[in-house]
């Protein structure tokens, strides 16, 4: 594994994962404690403390990786500042790793053995705020190769031959897209990096930008050279402050080194990049809406054709690629199209990055070769479900995607196989669900989202999704009617057909796939007025099991409506008329004394 | 419209004009300019919409349309602390509704509201992108993950206490 490449020269190297996940788990405090501890013990010259990005094992954050000068590296998981002293004393000074805090080697093997890290090749390895670290890992070498030895057409041919397809979700062949933009007449052209990662449950682009921003910038430069553009925009969500911060640092560094600007690497190639912050509109992930937003308008989609390659930003030929797509480019240039298209399936080449989350034991950021089965991702890499309940389904593609049931876990992950299930590959959100997930509730959840985010331009998307949401709302409240399922299907077809952009065209997918695979759950809600997963508030009741309740009063303290009463040290009681079925009591009870029917 | 007139007087147009000029007073720079105004004031004051419109030479209604389209922009001042409750898919599956309930109890503000004492504004957000640490919330730009009803209750009261202890400005 390439991780071994940055062992220190005779000194210890200790790295802390400081992408958003690591920081949210307390990584900055761990990093500070580590630095202070090393200095306090006079080890500054023997131990190098480094910052790095996302190591991919988000379930174990805060992660600290320790490389001894000799011997094997180890990962410490769930590290707190209080643990640092012992790690320094026993491991770094004493030479004995604190074994009970280390991730076992077989767990790491399981995680990594089925992965193939191309996009993530530097993530969790280099310091994302250091261009020297990036240059030492072959950063900008592909740009150098392209500018000095490849014509734009040769670059496009190489990318086309690699089989790389758009990783934002649509899967359009990248090389062909570049070719269209190149052929379009015009002296001013643009490259846009779409980093408006809006799918709930997706954090691939954020992690890549926070962990290895230069690789994305290099991809943009190569795309710019290939299509003949001199200006680029990175459209990134304002909700990702750390990604923006690291991009700004990376852009400044690249400018200083002459990698962005005029006559790049002494060649006849000028390219500038600026950042635009998305202001919080999911629809701006759609390329025509995104361009409207950069132009300072409301982010509403436009009819295509003309495609952006003909008439895009400010009416000029424009090429838009997603973060992950661009992060593949330099690897392809350096290693050749053949090395890339040797990975994957016949029509889906290379690898795909997924954000693995939900009810999964080992959630995090993974990169797998196309063609791997969902089962391998969930069980071999992800370690199965997190709470011991049965695996029920995965959700792919966020609000535009769908649910794939456990019975179809052998489905290979490639564009065509996933599309056949009714879901979509999407940008890489992969949410694992266990038996506790109600599929009607999941459908309602996504429809709520798309309904909120509909820009309102197309009637079917604006009102059709609202009507669908009303039907789902009714069903989850136990007020569903016999004809509701048919009604939903009819509305879904209308919304799909009569919407201009991807948001509306795909909005019904979560409903359609749950109906296809979990129709019995809809029927149970409608006919029997029960929620089999015990999730829908109107169809469940909470009760205290007297034998298990010691009368600690914690549930009563948290109950927002004072529905729980009882004497101290005696079993409490829930008043069903007052109870709003929020389930807080069940969450806070440490003794499992609250049941739900 | 007395309040509006007052608003106009109180706002420092020099700040707004400086922001507009920094962006070359181009229509294409409206969104970054509005983002800077929100950074400066904590929200987009109505008078700022008119001033930006005058600067750029477009109707105020156009700017208003942009401000209301994007969820980032706020037209009312926020409380001292901003809590963003994540309702992403992973958070939803891991009990985000219960976290939201506790936050509402602890702050006295439902999602979309500011507490009466002005201490907290609570917002509902689609996804913070920290799905592996679900359920999570962002309090004043810091993400808190792996929440339980008890831990978020504690965190919110800590924020309250720290500020009560701190000397008033």
Whole-angstrom CA distances from A313 to A238, A306, A539, A570, A595 are 20, 12, 50, 69, 57
Whether A89 contacts A71, CB under 8 Å: no
The residue-averaged pLDDT of B123-148 equals 90
> Which pLDDT value is given to residue B20?
77
Residue A114 CB: number of other CB atoms within 10 A?
A: 16
Dihedral of CA A523/A529/A533/A536: which sign?
Answer: positive
> Which pLDDT value is given to residue A8?
53
Q: What angle, 0 to 180 degrees and rounded to 10, lies between the N-to-C axes of helices B46-56 and B30-41? A: 150
User: pLDDT (tens digit, 9 = 90+) per residue, A535-572?
Assistant: 999 999 999 999 999 999 999 988 888 899 999 899 99
B10 CA to chain A: closest CA distance, Å? Answer: 26
User: pLDDT (tens digit, 9 = 90+) per residue, A130-152?
Assistant: 999 999 999 999 999 999 999 99
Which of B28, B35, B153 lies nearest to residue A295, judging by beta carbons?
B28
Which has the closest alpha carbon to A61: A84, A80, A78?
A78
Chain B residues touching A445 at Cβ < 8 A = 89, 92
A41 CA to chain B: closest CA distance, Å? Answer: 31
* Sheet containing B113-114: order of strands: B113-114, B120-125, B81-86, B137-139, B142-144
Q: Does A556 touch chain B (CB under 8 A)?
A: no
User: pLDDT (tens digit, 9 = 90+) per residue, A181-217?
Assistant: 999 999 999 999 999 998 998 999 999 999 999 999 9
Q: Does A355 touch chain B (CB under 8 A)?
A: yes
> Which pLDDT value is given to residue A4?
46
Least confident of A15-24, A289-298, B149-158, B159-168: B159-168
Which of A203, A279, A588 lies nearest to residue B70, judging by beta carbons?
A279
User: pLDDT (tens digit, 9 = 90+) per residue, A395-436?
Assistant: 999 999 999 999 999 999 999 999 999 999 999 999 999 999
Chain B residues touching A555 at Cβ < 8 A = none
CB contact under 8 A, B131 and A203: yes
> Which pLDDT value is given to residue A1?
37
Q: Does A201 touch chain B (CB under 8 A)?
A: yes
**Phi, psi of B50, deg, nearest 5:** -65, -40
Q: Does A280 touch chain B (CB under 8 A)?
A: yes
The residue-averaged pLDDT of B115-143 equals 91
Q: d(Cα B137, Cα B127) in Å, to the nearest integer?
A: 9
Q: Does B134 touch chain A (CB under 8 A)?
A: yes
Chain B residues touching A293 at Cβ < 8 A = 31
Chain A residues touching B146 at Cβ < 8 A = 25
Residue A520 CB: number of other CB atoms within 10 A?
A: 10
pLDDT band at A239 (very low <50, low <70, confident <90, very high): confident
> Which pLDDT value is given to residue A123?
96
DSSP string, A105-170: HHHHHHHHHT---STTTTTTTS-TT-HHHHHHTTTTHHHHHHHHH--HHHHHHHHHHHT-B-TTTT
Mean pLDDT, chain A, rounded, equals 94
CB contact under 8 A, B145 and A23: no
User: pLDDT (tens digit, 9 = 90+) per residue, A26-79?
Assistant: 999 999 999 999 999 999 999 999 999 999 999 999 999 999 988 788 999 999
Dihedral of CA A410/A415/A420/A424: which sign?
Answer: positive
In DSSP terms, A594 is beta-bridged to A544
> Which pLDDT value is given to residue A6?
52
Q: d(Cα A381, Cα A113) in Å, to the nearest integer?
A: 8
Q: If you count them, how many residues does chain A have?
A: 597
The residue-averaged pLDDT of A382-393 equals 94
B61 CA to chain A: closest CA distance, Å? Answer: 12
Whole-angstrom CA distances from B4 to A157, B19, B78 are 60, 21, 19
Given a cut of 60, whether residue A362 has pLDDT beyond it is yes
Chain A residues touching B139 at Cβ < 8 A = none
CB contact under 8 A, B27 and A24: no
Q: d(Cα A216, Cα A326) in Å, to the nearest integer?
A: 6
CB contact under 8 A, B31 and A58: no
Which of A240, A294, A437 lies nearest to residue B93, judging by beta carbons?
A437
Query: Which of A56, A77, A196, A239 is the mutation pick for testing B, counting most B CBs within 10 A?
Result: A239
pLDDT band at B22 (very low <50, low <70, confident <90, very high): confident
Given a cut of 60, whether residue B7 has pLDDT beyond it is no
The residue-averaged pLDDT of A276-295 equals 93
> Which pLDDT value is given to residue A112?
92
Give residue B22's region: left, alpha or beta (phi > 0; psi -120 to 50).
alpha
> Which pLDDT value is given to residue B10?
60
Which has the closest alpha carbon to A27: B108, B116, B143?
B143
CB contact under 8 A, A24 and B144: yes
Whole-angstrom CA distances from A535 to A364, A471, A558, B82, B95 are 26, 17, 19, 29, 10
Query: Which of B89, B108, B138 is the mutation pick for testing A, counting most A CBs within 10 A?
Result: B89
B76 CA to chain A: closest CA distance, Å? Answer: 17
For chains A and B, CB pairs below 8 A equal: 156
Query: Which of B73, B91, B125, B127 is the mutation pick for testing A, counting most A CBs within 10 A?
Result: B127
The residue-averaged pLDDT of A508-524 equals 96
Q: d(Cα A228, Cα A245) in Å, to the nearest integer?
A: 28
CB burial class (10 A; 0-12, 13-18, 19+) of residue B6? Answer: exposed
Residue B127 CB: number of other CB atoms within 10 A?
A: 29
- With a CB cutoff of 8 Å and minimum separation 6, the contacts of A259 are A140, A143, A217, A221, A265
Q: d(Cα A433, Cα A389) in Å, to the nearest integer?
A: 9
> Which pLDDT value is given to residue B169?
39
Q: What angle, 0 to 180 degrees and rounded to 10, lies between the N-to-C axes of helices B30-41 and B60-69? A: 70
User: pLDDT (tens digit, 9 = 90+) per residue, A218-227?
Assistant: 999 999 999 9
Query: Which of B37, B132, B139 is the mutation pick for testing A, counting most A CBs within 10 A?
Result: B132
User: pLDDT (tens digit, 9 = 90+) per residue, B25-61?
Assistant: 676 788 998 999 998 888 999 999 998 888 888 899 9
Mean pLDDT, chain B, rounded, equals 85
User: pLDDT (tens digit, 9 = 90+) per residue, A286-325?
Assistant: 999 999 999 999 999 999 999 999 999 999 999 999 999 9
Which of A281, A294, A449 lies nearest to residue B69, judging by beta carbons?
A281
CB contact under 8 A, B146 and A583: no
Residue A187 CB: number of other CB atoms within 10 A?
A: 8
Q: Which residue has the tokens 């922009």?
A: B73
In DSSP terms, A564 is beta-bridged to A574
B102 CA to chain A: closest CA distance, Å? Answer: 8
In DSSP terms, A595 is beta-bridged to A543
Whether A364 contacts A395, CB under 8 Å: no
CB contact under 8 A, B143 and A20: yes
pLDDT band at B165 (very low <50, low <70, confident <90, very high): low
B14 CA to chain A: closest CA distance, Å? Answer: 22
The complex scores an ipTM of 0.88
Tell which B residues from 139 to 158 touch A, by Cβ distance under 8 Å: 141-146, 148-150, 153
Q: d(Cα B101, Cα B147) in Å, to the nearest integer?
A: 13
More confident call, A3 vs A400:
A400
DSSP string, A180-228: HHHHS--S--EEEEEE---STT--HHHHHHHH-HHHHHHHHHHHHHHHT
pLDDT band at A461 (very low <50, low <70, confident <90, very high): very high
CB contact under 8 A, B131 and A294: no
Given a cut of 50, whether residue A279 has pLDDT beyond it is yes
DSSP string, A380-407: IIT-SBSSSPPEEEEEESGGGSEEEEGG
Given a cut of 80, whether residue B11 has pLDDT beyond it is no
CB burial class (10 A; 0-12, 13-18, 19+) of residue B64? Answer: middle
Whether A209 contacts A195, CB under 8 Å: yes
CA angle A15, A19, A21 (to 5 degrees): 110
Percent residues over pLDDT 90 in chain A: 89
The residue-averaged pLDDT of A453-471 equals 95
Given a cut of 60, whether residue A518 has pLDDT beyond it is yes
Chain A residues touching B58 at Cβ < 8 A = none
Given a cut of 50, whether residue B77 has pLDDT beyond it is yes
Query: Which three-class secondary structure string do you get for A332-354?
Result: HHHHCHHHHHCCECCCCECEEEE
Instruction: Write out the H or E segment, with its range, that includes residue A232.
Output: strand A231-237
CB contact under 8 A, B98 and A449: no
User: pLDDT (tens digit, 9 = 90+) per residue, A75-113?
Assistant: 999 999 999 999 999 999 999 999 999 999 999 999 999
CB contact under 8 A, B35 and A58: no
CB contact under 8 A, B69 and A363: no
> Which pLDDT value is given to residue B129?
86
Q: d(Cα B99, Cα B148) in Å, to the nearest integer?
A: 7
CB contact under 8 A, A20 and B146: no
B111 CA to chain A: closest CA distance, Å? Answer: 15
Q: What angle, 0 to 180 degrees and rounded to 10, lies between the N-to-C axes of helices A241-256 and A213-227? A: 60
CB contact under 8 A, B125 and A239: yes
Nearest CA in chain B to A58: B132
């Amino acid at each position: 594994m390439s991780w071994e490449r940055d062992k220190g020269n005779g000194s210890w190297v200790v790295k802390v994962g400081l992408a958003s996940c690591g920081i949210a788990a307390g990584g900055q405090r761990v990093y500070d404690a580590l630095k202070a501890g090393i200095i306090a013990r006079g080890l500054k010259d023997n131990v190098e403390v480094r910052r790095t990005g996302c190591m991919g094992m988000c379930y174990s954050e805060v992660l600290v990786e320790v490389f001894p000068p000799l011997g094997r590296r180890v990962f410490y998981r769930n590290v707190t500042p209080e643990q640092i002293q012992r790690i320094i004393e026993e491991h770094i000074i004493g030479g004995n790793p604190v074994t009970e805090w280390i991730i076992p080697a077989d767990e790491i093997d399981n995680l990594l053995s089925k992965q193939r890290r191309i996009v993530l090749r530097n993530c969790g390895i280099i310091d994302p705020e250091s261009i020297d670290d990036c240059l030492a890992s072959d950063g900008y070498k592909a740009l150098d190769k392209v500018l000095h030895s490849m014509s734009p057409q040769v670059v496009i041919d190489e990318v086309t031959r690699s089989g790389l397809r758009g990783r934002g979700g649509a899967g359009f062949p990248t090389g062909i897209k570049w070719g269209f933009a190149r052929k379009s007449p015009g002296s001013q052209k643009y490259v846009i990096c779409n980093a408006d990662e809006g799918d709930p449950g997706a954090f691939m682009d954020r992690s890549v930008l926070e962990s290895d921003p230069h690789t994305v910038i290099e991809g943009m430069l190569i795309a710019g050279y290939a299509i003949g553009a001199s200006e680029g925009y990175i459209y990134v969500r304002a909700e990702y402050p750390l990604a923006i911060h690291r991009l700004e640092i990376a852009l400044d560094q690249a400018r200083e080194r002459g990698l962005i600007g005029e006559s790049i690497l002494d060649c006849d190639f000028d390219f500038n990049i600026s950042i635009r912050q998305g202001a919080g509109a999911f629809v701006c992930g759609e390329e025509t809406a995104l361009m409207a937003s950069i132009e300072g308008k409301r982010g509403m989609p436009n009819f295509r054709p003309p495609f952006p390659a003909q008439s895009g930003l400010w009416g000029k030929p424009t090429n838009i690629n997603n973060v992950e797509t661009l992060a593949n480019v330099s690897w392809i240039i350096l290693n050749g199209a053949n090395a890339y298209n040797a990975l994957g399936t016949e029509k889906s080449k290379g690898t795909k990055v997924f954000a693995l989350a939900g009810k999964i034991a080992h959630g995090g950021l993974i990169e797998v070769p196309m063609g791997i089965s969902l089962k391998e991702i969930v069980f071999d890499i992800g370690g199965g479900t997190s709470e011991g309940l049965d695996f029920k389904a995965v959700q792919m593609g966020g609000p535009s995607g769908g649910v794939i049931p456990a019975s179809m876990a052998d489905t290979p992950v490639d564009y065509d196989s996933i599309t056949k299930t009714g879901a979509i590959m999407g940008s890489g959100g992969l949410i694992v669900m266990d038996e506790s997930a109600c599929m009607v509730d999941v459908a309602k959840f996504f429809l709520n989202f798309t309904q909120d985010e509909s820009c309102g331009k197309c009637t079917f998307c604006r009102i059709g999704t609202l009507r669908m949401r009303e039907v789902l709302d009714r069903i989850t409240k136990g007020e569903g009617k016999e004809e509701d399922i048919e009604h939903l299907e009819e509305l879904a077809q209308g919304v799909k057909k009569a919407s201009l952009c991807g948001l509306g065209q795909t909005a019904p997918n979560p409903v359609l796939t749950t109906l296809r695979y979990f129709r019995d759950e809809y029927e149970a809600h409608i006919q029997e007025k029960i929620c089999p997963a015990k999730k829908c508030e109107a169809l469940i009741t909470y009760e205290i099991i007297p034998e298990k309740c010691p009368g600690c009063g914690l549930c009563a303290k948290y109950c927002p409506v004072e529905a729980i009463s009882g004497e101290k040290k005696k079993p409490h009681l829930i008043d069903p008329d007052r109870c709003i079925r929020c389930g807080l009591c069940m969450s806070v009870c440490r003794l499992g004394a609250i049941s739900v029917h | 419209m007395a309040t509006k007139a007052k608003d106009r007087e109180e706002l420092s147009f020099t700040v707004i004009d400086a922001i507009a000029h920094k962006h070359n007073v181009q229509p294409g720079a409206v969104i970054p300019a509005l983002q800077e105004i929100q950074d400066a004031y904590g929200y987009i004051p109505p008078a700022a919409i008119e001033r930006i419109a005058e600067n750029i030479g477009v109707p105020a209604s156009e700017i208003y349309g942009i401000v209301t389209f994007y969820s980032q922009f706020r037209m009312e001042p926020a409380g001292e602390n901003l809590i963003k409750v994540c309702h992403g898919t992973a958070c939803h599956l891991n009990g985000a509704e219960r976290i939201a309930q506790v936050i509402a109890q602890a702050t006295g503000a439902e999602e979309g509201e500011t507490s009466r004492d002005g201490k907290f504004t609570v917002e509902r957000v689609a996804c913070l992108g920290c799905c592996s640490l679900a359920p999570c919330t962002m309090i004043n730009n810091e993400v808190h993950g792996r929440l339980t009803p008890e831990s978020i209750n504690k965190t919110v009261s800590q924020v309250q206490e720290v500020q009560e202890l701190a000397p008033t400005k």
